[in-house]
């Protein structure tokens, strides 16, 4: 079985079309949960660009924490901010945060997000 990914959607102000959202999807690349060295693949899609921009990179668990901390800090401080940040995680309801205040919940999100990739989809 493949671990269920975590999705973070960055919703633009005034946009009703979900294809304009920026989307970050976090995949766990290993199902070896006993390993101290976790591998994560992070896919970023910029929905606001005319040419769909996609990036993929790989992180260890500590690198993922640093990436997410930077992401939440940048989103909170943006001068042309996103309206909301939505977190879609397996086993949890969808949660929506005001983008300019996402730093308030940053530590809670960082402590929970890496753990959620241990969840597997049940059919």
Task: Check whether 109 has a pLDDT greater than 80.
Answer: no
Which pTM was predicted? 0.82
| pLDDT reported for residue 70 | 92
User: Three-state DSSP class for 84?
Assistant: strand
Domain boundaries, the chain: 6-116
More confident residue, 34 or 64: 64
Q: Are 10 and 85 in contact (CB under 8 A)?
A: yes
Binning pLDDT at 50, 70 and 90, where does residue 85 land?
very high
| Angle at 54 (CA atoms; ends 57, 6), nearest 5 degrees | 60
């Amino acid at each position: 079985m493949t671990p269920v990914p975590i999705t973070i959607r960055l919703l633009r102000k005034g946009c009703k079309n979900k294809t304009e959202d920026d989307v970050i999807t976090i995949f766990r690349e290993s199902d070896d949960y006993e390993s101290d060295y976790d591998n994560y693949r992070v896919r970023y899609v910029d929905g606001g660009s005319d040419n769909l921009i996609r990036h993929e990179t790989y992180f260890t668990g500590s690198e993922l924490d640093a990436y997410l901390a930077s992401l939440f800090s940048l989103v909170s401080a943006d001068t042309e901010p996103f309206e909301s940040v939505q977190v879609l995680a397996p086993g949890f309801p969808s949660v929506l945060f005001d983008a300019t205040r996402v730093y308030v919940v940053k530590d809670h999100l960082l402590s929970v997000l890496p753990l959620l990739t241990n969840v597997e989809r049940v059919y």
